[in-house]
Amino acid sequence: MALVRTGEIVARAVRSGTAAVAFNVLHLESAEALAAAAEQTGVPLILSISENCIRYHHGLLPLLRATLAVAAGAEAELSVHLDHITDPALIRAGVEAGAGARPGVSSVMIDASALPWAENVGVTTDVATWCHRRGVYVEAELGEVGGKDGVHAPGARTDPAEALRFVQTTGVDALAVAVGSSHAMTERTIELDQDLIGRLHATLPVPLVLHGSSGVPDEEIRRAVAAGMTKINISTHLVSVFTATVREVLAAQPDLVDSRKYLGPARDAVADEAARLLRVLTAPVPAR
């Protein structure tokens, strides 16, 4: 099945009142696991590659091209997205990697949320303008003014009026908002500000994006979708499943030296958990 566009996945979720799900790719094994989950469930999936992951691989193209190849060869609807990119040059490189006849990145998230308001607006507007000329969907993040941790600083909350001004000024297609989640959580205990999600949904003309969803229980995410959240990003939870499986296999077979013998089971475990999440998070929710 050919690659689909992130904008199409998100628009379909908006129309149906369900979630558009994005899982992070860390390496080839995770890309294969996520594609398998989408194939098992028949649920469209956004494959996200973060700037941190690009840095880990010492460059963008090897992992991006591998992910695009996995997505293009899968019997599932998959799109490829660049996530939490602070360097606009990386965005340009990712989009241009699919120029011409080659399929490529169809969406990006420019993350200038650590910058003061005016700088965030300027950088985001420039990226959105450049990407829109090339048909690329743009997500952004509105953080605290100058806040080091952006929208995921403890207690940070997005102001609906400020968010509306940001969206109208920058022309972005989707906005990551602060409603109580936090990145890199390994326990799923977060309670989201559901009332704020409803107010943001009523105020903003673009889909809302929940980052840091690994720390949020399934039913709390479903409540957020019912309140107006659309795109749900998950990474750490699936990374934890991968790592736990590697530990279990090595503990049971300490003499293993062939990495395929423990990476393979970890890949399968991630595929199973990703498939479970896809079924749960995209099941029908009460009308918004």
**pLDDT for residue 7 is more than 50:** yes
pLDDT value of position 123: 97
Could you tell me which residue, 277 or 101, shows the higher pLDDT? 277
Closest CA to 216 of 271, 179, 175: 179
Which one of 83, 111, 173, 193 is the catalytic residue? 83
pTM of the model: 0.91
Would you place residue 158 in the very low, low, confident or very high pLDDT band (cuts 50, 70, 90)? confident
Per residue in 187-199, pLDDT (tens digit) is 555 667 888 999 9
CATH number of 6-281: 3.20.20.70
Tokens read off for 69: 């190849």
Quick one: pLDDT at residue 184?
Answer: 47
β-pair partners for 79: 46
pLDDT at position 125 is 98
pLDDT tens, position by position, 131-142? 999 999 999 998
Q: What Å distances lie between residue 132 and 20, 80, 250, CA to CA?
A: 21, 16, 47
pLDDT at 148: 39
Compute the average pLDDT of residues 215-235. 88
At 102 the pLDDT is: 61
218 is catalytic: no
Q: Average pLDDT for residues 213-230, to the nearest whole number?
A: 85
